[in-house]
Amino acid sequence: METIVIIGNGIAGVSAARHIRKLSDKRIIIVSAETDYFFSRTALMYVYMGHMKFEHIQPYENWFWEKNRIELVRGYVDHVDVANKKLLIDGSRALPYDNLVVATGSKPNKFGWPGQDLHGVQGLYSKQDLDLLEVNAPNKEVCKRAVIVGGGLIGIELAEMLRSRDIPVTFLVREKNFWNGVLPEGESKMINEHILEHHIDLRLATNLKEIVSDENGKVKSIIIAETGEELPCDMVGLTAGVTPNIDFLKDSGIELGRGVKVNRFLETSAKDVYAIGDCAEQHVAIGYRRPIEPVWYTGRMMCETLAQTLCGNRIEYKPGHWFNSAKFLDIEYQTYGWVFSERGRKDYEAQFHWRHPKEKICVTISFHNDTQQFLGINTFGIRMRHEVFDRWLTENRDMDYVIEHLIDANFDPEFYKHHEAAIVAQYNAEFNKQVKSRKKSLKRIFVSS
Amino acid sequence: MSTYDRSMSLAGPPANIQWHQKLSILLGMFGLCIILLAGFNVEFPNRGLWLTTALTSIFAGTVWFSWDLYRGKYPGIKNDKVWFRSISNLGLGGWLLGIGITAFYIILYFYPEYLGLAKKGPNTGIIALFDPLSKMLSGNPASQWFVYGTLYTVGILAFGIKFMWKYRHNRYERIRTMSVMFFQTAFAFLIPEFMARLNGSSVLQGGSLPFLDLKNIWPLNYYNFESYRVKGFLSSGDIGFAMLIFAIASVFVITPFLTYKFGKRWYCSWVCGCGGLAETVGDSFRQLSDKSVRAWNIERWVVHSVVVFVTLMTTAVIYSYLGNDTSKYWLTKKTFLIGVGVLLTAVFALVMIFKRDEFKKDAKYGAIGYLIVILALIGFHFYSGDGHVFLFQSGTLRKSYSFLIGSIFSGVIGTGFYPILGNRGWCRFGCPMAAMMGFQQRLFSRFRITTNGGQCISCGNCSTYCEMGIDVRAYAQKGENIVRSSCVGCGICSAVCPRGVLKLENGPQKGRIDANQVLLGNDVDLMNLVNQK
Ligand SMILES: Cc1cc2nc3c(=O)[nH]c(=O)nc-3n(C[C@H](O)[C@H](O)[C@H](O)COP(=O)(O)OP(=O)(O)OC[C@H]3O[C@@H](n4cnc5c(N)ncnc54)[C@H](O)[C@@H]3O)c2cc1C
Ligand code: SF4
Ligand code: SF4
């Protein structure tokens, strides 16, 4: 029987195993170092905050694996021998494979800051990082102040976590506004305000110069590059992005860039070796996507394709329209299609921005300057329907149509206040139009079913 | 150093937070102590005043405490530290509280004399303390049920306010909670008491109505069609007759219609008193429900057995007081039994004809089994004599139902075990009303929880906070809608989801459960391919 070995039991590796099992009877072995069972990395924060216990963030009960004949091996792969189709686990055990799937995810970036390896300095990626955080910052008595370096999605999650235990947090963000490499300015600024509302000491356009040690090799303070100010602290969180976790492949002969290089079939340069999830790097970026896409959803999508390929139906990885979501403290964020920040803005891209006069709710819709074609939407504090936007993007709808039917896309819970009227009014005023909001139609919404 | 100080004050909690909490707890405890002292037969000179003080302190203490808990916090999900507190994580605190409430229920149901219920003469103890209020409302002295009803209502109101603060960003939760608070106060508490005043009056043509909470529908209200009640209705003129008709229509028309339109949530999360208590007083325990597949299996067996039990029991009870002679009463023993048989068979046949495919295999076997049992037992009747129904004495059947299900299950275990089984233990494992509506919700209803395409990150908040123990995530992460018979539509899964994945809504039945509609983000060709399987 053919044996498929998967390295990494994250969302990518596990979804691959599940899909392969659905399509075939092949032997499936998952080797992973971090934990015995798959857990949801995206939910680590909720364990520290006390919303859930660690067992709750494991999406499958423990009997699931045996029942589906997915063999789990706990161990670290040090070496892949592609010539003999063998792995070496923990320096001792050899494991042969017929097909190998590399799904080893990422690790936190470290940019060579002085003091980055001191005690009390850590990233937030793994279960081990979570355990370490309980040591470094169990409460506000042990950790009188924490400093977070890097204003991305993980940084703001870490800030929220620490604040849930009343630990004072200073948040160093390199950009002029929070996450404004991705978000248009209006949205970035709204999030700035919200961060301050949560009593987080947000320092914009601020870089870390060095982390200072006390006599025991533990962090004592940090120094800010711009001002030279020294901030005493007991914990430093490094959350300035992630890089593929592929050092163990360096001598394997598999072609590597920042990640494991793959083609559109997710095949690496070595025969019968594939890579998926955070650690895969496309030779050529797909559409506006980046060559490496370290998000939950792409890992999951790649598996559906790869499972087909491994089960005899070789097909290309073709992600559909881009979507993503996150939560900034109390504000939910969703995006469908492409809305670029000032930095990445295309010359044909125009944007329409509406913000609620009082509450932290806003919407940005981007469209093509000449054709008026709808390109994408960012929403904050309003939930939107994935299916509807996906359809509109496929159908190349124009801006007027989207504005007119925006109510169909609303996904807020029942009885929520609607903002479509205000949005339409501002759109009409700004672009000198006479668009009227349609009535919500279940027929249109559920058209595909 | 200056910045350090500045944000310390920003970040530090207001200094008075501590004493607010302590005082509010003290105030609530004071109220409870008055009642407890009355229980030890401490004589209060002015009972009306002391009762008012006690109830006001409990109410105000709870509301003050919750105000202090949520004030100054930005609206949003407030589940920090839930699993760190021993009261809400199955720790010692939870067990002690569970034992405490259980003990209260045992006294209430089986030893009301300890609460001061007197068989003859005036009440004493706690019940006497409640006499003034009862006399004011209905004109009668209090009973243990009046005491319980009053505390129950105060609980729903005070903790309802807490719940509305906790979810103040979520209008679905706020409006729903106002609804349960209203139905509890008006329908369960005040109206029946007022109606008692009418007993014997000319409005009822001299008859007297049984105590009736109009929203309490059979089979939850398993005794509603017992002989003494039906006699009471029929003796009370047009009003009594209208109420009987309403009680019957509730079962056969209103409930199926509303469940079709909105799912069973219209009752379980908007109207029902058991649900009301669970959602308000029990809210802090919702995360304790067991999500394992094993628990789900147990749930299905137990709750459906209760349905069979209550159907048998009610049939038996009604049967036993009907006559054989059509001239006295149009409904005779025989026509009644035939009616029940025809109805059950009709329902079963309809399901089999129209919903065969949606019915999972095991449920099908279960249904067939149960149907045979019921029909067989009805068959037995023709071989059994008067007073006996089927194989049993109808009185015995009724008594054991009322003891096992009515008292032990719904009260002692259902509420007493909040801190152990979660707040909906009864609703999930025991309530026959929920099971019957659930059956309909699964097969004939417009209600579903829509999963928002591929946005789920499998975090598990939804499953953890589902009080009915539904593994919501298992569906959401596959892009499937959630159509589960046990879902009471509380909306919490949707509220706690950090990615806006879930929406409770009513829509066309077509495609409601279609697992083929998965939109996880891949392009259309692959979707088609995956769906062909
Ligand atoms: C705190 C946090 C929050 C996030 N939130 C979101 C979010 O909201 N939305 C979103 O889209 N994305 C989010 N992400 C990103 C998302 O979690 C990742 O994109 C995703 O988990 C990657 O999955 P993966 O399967 O590729 O890799 P991983 O989940 O990293 O799994 C790889 C596994 O392989 C193991 N491994 C690595 N090397 C070896 C080896 N040599 N031998 C054996 N085992 C090995 C690792 O220990 C790990 O367990 C978040 C990430 C973090 C850290
Ligand atoms: S599935 Fe959601 S709405 Fe239904 S009972 Fe569970 S938490 Fe409530
Ligand atoms: S809470 Fe939302 S994101 Fe989390 S598992 Fe449930 S549906 Fe998915």
* A238 Cβ contact list (under 8 Å, min separation 6): A108, A109, A110, A113, A116, A121, A122, A123, A149, A150
For chain A, the structural domain boundaries read: 3-107+243-310, 121-240, 323-448
Picking from B460, B435, B466, B452, the residue whose alpha carbon sits closest to that of residue B503 is: B452
When CB atoms are compared, the residue of B473, B498, B519 closest to A332 is B498
Residue with tokens 């504005």: A403
Distance (Å, rounded) from C-alpha B68 to C-alpha A445?
42
Picking from B312, B80, B417, the residue whose alpha carbon sits closest to that of residue A49 is: B80
Picking from B531, B3, B489, B19, the residue whose alpha carbon sits closest to that of residue B262 is: B489
Residue type, B15: A
For chain B, the structural domain boundaries read: 16-73+117-169, 294-434, 449-532
Q: Which of B291, B451, B471, B472 to mutate to test the pocket of ligand 3 (most atoms within 8 A of CB)?
A: B472
B456 lines ligand 2 (CB under 6 A): no
Eight-state DSSP code of residue A249 = G
Cβ–Cβ below 8 Å for B77 and A330? yes
Cα A142 to ligand 1 centroid, rounded to whole Å: 29
Contact A352, A427 (CB under 8 A): yes
DSSP of B223-256? TTTSHHHHHHHHHSHHHHHHHHHHHHHIIIIIHH
The minimum-distance atom of ligand 1 relative to the CA of B498 is: 8
User: Distance of CA B208 to CAs A411, B228, B235, B236, B248, Å?
Assistant: 51, 11, 7, 6, 19
Provide the ipTM: 0.96
Domain A121-240 - what CATH class? alpha beta
A57 lines ligand 1 (CB under 6 A): no
Contact B9, A170 (CB under 8 A): no
Tokens representing A101 are: 């799937």
Residue type, B325: D
Interface test with A, best of B174, B291, B514, B526 (most A CBs within 10 A): B526
Beta-bridged to residue A288, according to DSSP, are none
pLDDT at B101: 93
Q: Which of B470, B483, B501 to mutate to test the pocket of ligand 2 (most atoms within 8 A of CB)?
A: B470
B491 lines ligand 2 (CB under 6 A): yes
pLDDT at B9: 35
Distance (Å, rounded) from C-alpha B295 to C-alpha B467?
13
Instruction: Determine the topology of domain A323-448 in CATH.
Output: Enolase-like; domain 1 (3.30.390)
Beta-bridged to residue A210, according to DSSP, are A223
Whether chain B has a CB inside 8 Å of the CB on A411: the answer is yes
Cα B490 to ligand 2 centroid, rounded to whole Å: 5
Q: Whose CA is nearest to atom 6 of ligand 2?
A: B466
B513 lines ligand 2 (CB under 6 A): no
**pLDDT tens-digit series, residues A417-443:** 999 999 999 999 999 999 999 999 999
Distance (Å, rounded) from C-alpha A184 to C-alpha A187?
6
The list of chain A residues with pLDDT below 50 reads: none
For domain A3-107+243-310, the CATH superfamily is: FAD/NAD(P)-binding domain (3.50.50.60)
pTM, 2 dp: 0.94
Angle separating helix axes B144-166 and B273-280, nearest 10 degrees = 50
Q: Whose CA is nearest to atom 8 of ligand 2?
A: B490
Beta-bridged to residue A228, according to DSSP, are none
B521 neighbourhood in chain A, CB within 8 Å:
297-298, 300-301, 319-321, 323
* B511 Cβ contact list (under 8 Å, min separation 6): A446, A448, A449, B517
B488 lines ligand 2 (CB under 6 A): yes
Write phi, then psi, for B206 (nearest 5 degrees).
Answer: 80, -5
Pick the ligand that lies closest to the CA of residue A414.
2
User: Distance of CA B125 to CAs B58, B100, B151, Å?
Assistant: 19, 19, 15
Partner A, chain B 140-199, Cβ-Cβ below 8 Å: 169-172, 175
Whether chain A has a CB inside 8 Å of the CB on B82: the answer is yes
Distance (Å, rounded) from C-alpha A444 to C-alpha A438?
11
Contact A337, A409 (CB under 8 A): no
pLDDT at B327: 63
pLDDT at B17: 57
Count of pairs with CB atoms under 8 A, one residue in A, one in B: 202
Distance (Å, rounded) from C-alpha B521 to C-alpha A22?
19
Mean pLDDT by 10 residues, chain B (533 residues): 34 56 93 91 87 96 94 92 94 94 91 87 89 92 92 96 96 98 94 83 73 84 85 84 90 95 96 95 96 93 84 80 69 80 82 73 64 68 61 75 84 88 94 91 93 95 98 94 95 98 93 65 67 57
Q: Closest chain A residue to B13 measured between Cα atoms?
A: A166
Tokens representing B315 are: 């049939």
Contact A240, A248 (CB under 8 A): no
A239 lines ligand 1 (CB under 6 A): no
B75 neighbourhood in chain A, CB within 8 Å:
330
B494 neighbourhood in chain A, CB within 8 Å:
413
Cβ–Cβ below 8 Å for A318 and B521? no
Whether chain A has a CB inside 8 Å of the CB on B84: the answer is yes
Distance (Å, rounded) from C-alpha B522 to C-alpha A305?
9
Centroid of chain to Cα B510: 30
Distance (Å, rounded) from C-alpha A103 to C-alpha A279?
6
Quick one: CA dihedral A288, A293, A295, A301, positive or negative?
positive
B459 lines ligand 3 (CB under 6 A): yes
B434 lines ligand 2 (CB under 6 A): no
